[in-house]
Amino acid sequence: MAKPPGFSTISIHGKIPRTRAFKALVDPIVQNTTFLLDDAGDIEGILSGEGFIYTRVGNPTQAALEERIALLEGGEAALAFASGMAAIASTLMTLLEKGDHIISDEEIYGCSHDLFTGLSRMGIDTSFIDLSNLSELEDEIREDTKLIFFETPANPTMKLIDIGSICKIAKEHGIPVMVDNTFATPCIQRPLEHGADIVIHSATKYLCGHGDAMGGVIVGDAGLVSRVRSTALKDFGGCISPFNAWLILRGLKTLSIRMRAHDKNAKEVAGFLEGERWVESVLYPGLPSHPQYEIARRQMSCGGGMLAFYMKEGVDVGRFLSRLNLCSLAVSLGTAETLVEQPYSMTHHDYPDKERLGINERLIRVSVGLEDVEDIIADLKEAVE
């Protein structure tokens, strides 16, 4: 091709020209658990990602997914897992050891917070701070700090963190930065371009897009990916199934067009909510009213499909949620269906000090789906009325 392929083309084809197994247009599901070897000495190379020996450490369908996501994120290599939590845990187990220190933003997914907290049993300490305040980061860095972790936008309040500024400080101290890019996807935000070292996704969400497959992925330099594959993935066994890898590959083909539609609907829903008397405030990166709107303009191409809002005091939140009809009361996000949840009692029900972070009973998180936006708005309106 005369010019590098665009995002949608890569989402569909991967590398161009691509190698097509059996001349198949669609990547096949290779359901094997084990593979034939030419020589007994092949194993070392295979564990580094060159070829296949056993599906726990690699599989052709998994490899196709990894290649595609690495290209979309602009990274050297990627590694897929059974879930986003398996991806985070495996990477931490590879990078860290007893006596190390992590700095994490104080507002992250509840299970990620539980994981970091649980690492204290292994002698790995975590400081939870507000990474939107750069001076807090400077004050918290220690000699034993080995990783900085955050989400942007953050779950559930859509807080944004300046990736470039965090990475500049981290590089001065030689500390790798790991960014959870699940909410934005590489279609909207590419953290590696802003200096991050590792990107993590719960591929269960927007990358899959259909709510029918679980998976996780990390993207980074080839050396790191090889280390995680040959240690934590091999030894802990959090491998993705070939079928789930295939389902996520299928989802990637429509990622670009889906994210544009999610963004369009979310903008309209956010605008509607801002004008409603029963809404106190709306948190959406695509609105000028967002507290970090200027950061969104610098590092995101659009607002995406996730938003949150606070209902005014006196509104019966429980009744509102129970009266939703088209919109579904459910955890997770990134599906074609609109999903609504109350983080206080659902995804962040046991989160420490959550009310200080703004996670109260009046906060509602919405994963805006692909239905006709007039129907989404009508359902929210009818539920509250």
Per-residue pLDDT band at 47 (split at 50, 70, 90): low
The pLDDT value recorded for residue 16 is: 83
End position of a domain, from candidates 236, 252, 268: 252
pLDDT > 90 in the chain, percent:
91
Q: Is the pLDDT score of 41 beyond 80? A: no
At residue 384, the pLDDT reads 94
At 8 the pLDDT is 95
Maximum Cα–Cα distance for the chain, whole Å? 71
* 354/45 Cα distance (integer angstroms): 47
Among the candidates 223, 252, 281, a domain finishes at: 252
In a domain, 38, yes or no: yes
Does the pLDDT at position 45 exceed 80?
A: no
- For residues 33 and 139, membership in a common domain is answered with yes
Between 84-95 and 110-118, two packed helices, what is the crossing angle to 10 degrees?
30
**Amino acid found at 181:** N
- Predicted confidence (pLDDT) at residue 22 exceeds the cutoff of 90: no
Whether residues 235 and 299 share a domain: the answer is no
65 with 47, same domain?
Answer: yes
Instruction: Name the residues annotated as catalytic.
Output: 56, 109, 180, 205
More confident residue, 50 or 78: 78
Residue 135 in domain: yes
Q: What is the DSSP string of 251-295?
A: HHTTHHHHHHHHHHHHHHHHHHHHT-TTEEEEE-TTSTTSTTHHH
Phi/psi zone of residue 65: left (φ > 0), alpha (ψ -120 to 50 degrees), beta?
alpha
Is 162 inside any structural domain?
A: yes
pLDDT tens per residue across span 154-175 = 999 999 999 999 999 999 999 9
Q: What is the pLDDT of residues 223-248, one digit of tens each?
A: 999 999 999 999 999 999 999 999 99
Averaged pLDDT, 350-363: 96
pLDDT tens track for 194-223 = 999 999 999 999 999 999 999 999 999 999
- Among residues 55, 104, 109, 102, which one has the least CA distance to residue 81? 55
Q: How far is CA 364 from its chain centroid?
A: 19
* pLDDT for the residue 39: 81
Does any domain span residue 2?
A: no
Structural domain that includes position 302: 255-384
Of 235, 252, 269, at which residue does a domain stop?
252
Residues 210 and 89: their CA atoms lie apart, in Å, by 25
The total domain count for the chain is: 2
Element holding 85 (H helix, E strand): helix 84-95
The CATH code of the domain that includes 214 is 3.40.640.10
C-alpha angle 237-181-116 in degrees, rounded to nearest 5:
55
